[in-house]
Structure formats: structure tokens, C-alpha cells
Amino acid sequence: MRALDPDHPIYMVENQADAFVSTGQATDILVSDQYPFRPSETLPIRLVGDDVRKAIAAVKEDKPVWSILQTFQSGAWNYLPTIAEVRNMGYQSFLAGAKGLGFYAITDPGWRLKDSVLWPGMVAFKDEIGLMRDLLVDGTKTNESIGNDVQWGVWSKGNAQYVIAINTSSQQQQASIPLGQTGSRVDLLHGDTPSQFGVLTTELQVTLKPLQTNVYRVVSLIDDASNVGSTVSSLQAAGSIHAQFASQLEYRMSIIQLLLRQGNFEQAVSYIQDFIRYIHDPSVLAQLLITPEAAEQLGGQLAALLHSMTHQ
């Protein structure tokens, strides 16, 4: 094949783990396709990620490994995985180091994936695959844990961390995931109802329903406070805040950042509440020290920071 076409990569799918080494020698891209939901038995779903790790080891991390997920219902294979199971297998593969995902969907007379109950979930999953791509290309995996029932990984991208937590068991599970920082704003992006809350310790505590996979974005509260300070500077440059008044606000924000670094969250909350009252004080507005629009913008940022610190 290489002699016939030197320009395109060779792609081979291998479903026998003991053949990963030999198949891996003959291809540019080695692809695992572990299907746990079988006609006569259901294998542990965690085998999907395990096989990806075996494939990566077989090619000595020298070639990309992809993962093909089970998304079909055909003949004796009469079980159609749920979107929760597909997401679980997909994130397992990504956490294990897969560089690509595919979806195997046999089309039999009278059944098509696009007409199945799984299809809407597959379409929605596209956005999550986009996040995986961004973390793969622009992010860095900083920590991971592959337990018997719970797997998790932490990626750094820009000023945020992204946490993927996977329950591979049929029971509710809990996990403590170290964040490497004290005081964080956490957004639950995927896997449950989107929400935002604060974590005032160095660990993210997660509770996962059976086979649940959650994705979180984590930002340091110090970074959020720093963004408020940057907004003050930009508003002052735009003429929306008097220069001397802007210096006072920046000084207040420096105190808040110091309190956050020290882990003194109770006092930081008091300072933030006082900051909000100060910029909305009628006498301040009457002196034209800050425009109502600028006060509203800063107040919104501070309220979001306050929400992260008081909703845990």
C-alpha cells in the first residue's frame, strides 16, 4: 500500500488486543474497536479505555491510536447503547490517549442510526468532541487517575483547568480530584444540568451516577478577581471611571486578591460586598466618578465572583 500511495496514511482497525503489536507495525493509524455490549454477554465498559491504552503501548506511543465506539443495533447485536454509554466510552478513549473517535453503525433494512433514539444525543455530543479536540491540540494533561470504578483527568488550557470525571460502574461513585489551587469557580459543562459553584478547598468533590461522565471548567478565584482589576483599568482608559477613583478601586481589588491568596474567604466576601455598595453609592455616581454603565459592568463581575464564593 505504501508503494502504491506514499501520500496517504494507512488506517487499520484491530479488535484483538493480542494483535495490536503486529497490526500496529503495518499501519500508520492503529484503531481499537472494543464493543462491550455483546449478544451473549455484557463486558465491563472500562475495557474500551483499557484497550486504547494497550494499543498505545503496542505502538510504543510512536503512532496515533483511534477508538471506534459501539453505536449500532444489528441482528444478534440487538442492544443499542445509550448516549450516556457512548459518552462514557468516548471520554474513556480520550482520557486513555486516543487521538480520534469514530462510530460504528451498521445499517440494516428498517434501521438507521439517524432514525434511532440515539441520534439526537450523538448530534449534541459533537460539541463535546470539539472540546476534546481543543484540549488535545492546545491543552496539557496535568493529572489523571484510572481507578477500578472512577477515572478522571485534568487538563490545563489558557487560564482554566478542565476536569473529566467518568464512572465506569453501575453504582453511584464519589471522587476527590486535586485542583492544585485554593479557591475556584467551577462550571459543570456537560453530563448533567449545567451549573456553577465554588470550591474553597484544593479538591473538587464529585458524585457520579452509574455510568455518568461529567466535564467541568475550573478557574481560579484569584484570576476572576484579577479580571475585575483589568476591567477597572480598561474602563478608566475609556473615560468611564475617573482616574483617581480607578486607583482606589484597583487598590481595593488588590486587597481582595491578597485575601483570596491567603484563603481568607469570609473577609474577602465582606470586601467584595463593600466594593459593590461603594460603586453604586448615589454620592459616587453624583460626582461622576463612575458612569452607571461602568458600575453595572463591574457590579456584574463582582456578583459572579461573590456567587462562586457563597454557592458551594
Helix, strand or coil, per DSSP, at residue 9 = coil
The three cell numbers of residue 189 are 459543562
Give the pLDDT score at 288. Answer: 93
If asked whether residues 149 and 242 sit together in one domain, one would say no
Q: Is the dihedral of CA 82, 47, 67, 125 positive or negative?
A: positive
Q: Please report, for the domain that includes residue 171, its CATH number.
A: 2.60.40.1180
Domain of 302 in residue numbering reads as 222-310
User: In the predicted model, what is the mean pLDDT of residues 3-8?
Assistant: 92
Give the pLDDT score at 107. Answer: 78
The three cell numbers of residue 38 are 455483546
Please indicate, yes or no, if residue 301 is contained in any of the structural domains. Answer: yes
Give the pLDDT score at 2. Answer: 83
Please indicate, yes or no, if residue 144 is contained in any of the structural domains. Answer: yes
Give the pLDDT score at 52. Answer: 98
User: Which one of 96, 117, 138 terminates a domain?
Assistant: 138
If asked whether residues 121 and 66 sit together in one domain, one would say yes
Q: How does pLDDT run across 293-308, given as a tens digit for each residue? A: 999 999 999 999 999 8
Q: How does pLDDT run across 33-51, given as a tens digit for each residue? A: 999 999 999 999 999 999 9
Q: How does pLDDT run across 84-94, given as a tens digit for each residue? A: 999 999 999 99
Please indicate, yes or no, if residue 6 is contained in any of the structural domains. Answer: no
If asked whether residues 36 and 148 sit together in one domain, one would say no
Q: How does pLDDT run across 126-167, given as a tens digit for each residue? A: 999 999 999 999 999 999 999 999 999 999 999 999 999 999
pLDDT band at 106 (very low <50, low <70, confident <90, very high): confident
Question: Which residue has cell 465491563?
Answer: 44
Q: How does pLDDT run across 205-264, given as a tens digit for each residue? A: 999 999 999 999 999 999 999 999 999 999 999 999 999 999 999 999 999 999 999 999
Q: What predicted TM-score, i.e. pTM, was given to this entire model?
A: 0.91
If asked whether residues 40 and 157 sit together in one domain, one would say no
Please indicate, yes or no, if residue 4 is contained in any of the structural domains. Answer: no
Please indicate, yes or no, if residue 5 is contained in any of the structural domains. Answer: no
User: Which one of 186, 220, 254 terminates a domain?
Assistant: 220
User: Which one of 106, 138, 170 terminates a domain?
Assistant: 138
Domains held by the chain: number: 3
Please indicate, yes or no, if residue 1 is contained in any of the structural domains. Answer: no
Say whether pLDDT at 312 is over 90.
no
**CB under 8 Å to 189, separation ≥6 — which residues?**
131, 215, 216, 217
CA dihedral 247, 252, 257, 259 (to 10 degrees): 150
Confirm if 218 and 160 have CB atoms less than 8 A apart. yes
If asked whether residues 243 and 165 sit together in one domain, one would say no
Please indicate, yes or no, if residue 207 is contained in any of the structural domains. Answer: yes
The overall average pLDDT reported for the chain is 95
If asked whether residues 64 and 149 sit together in one domain, one would say no
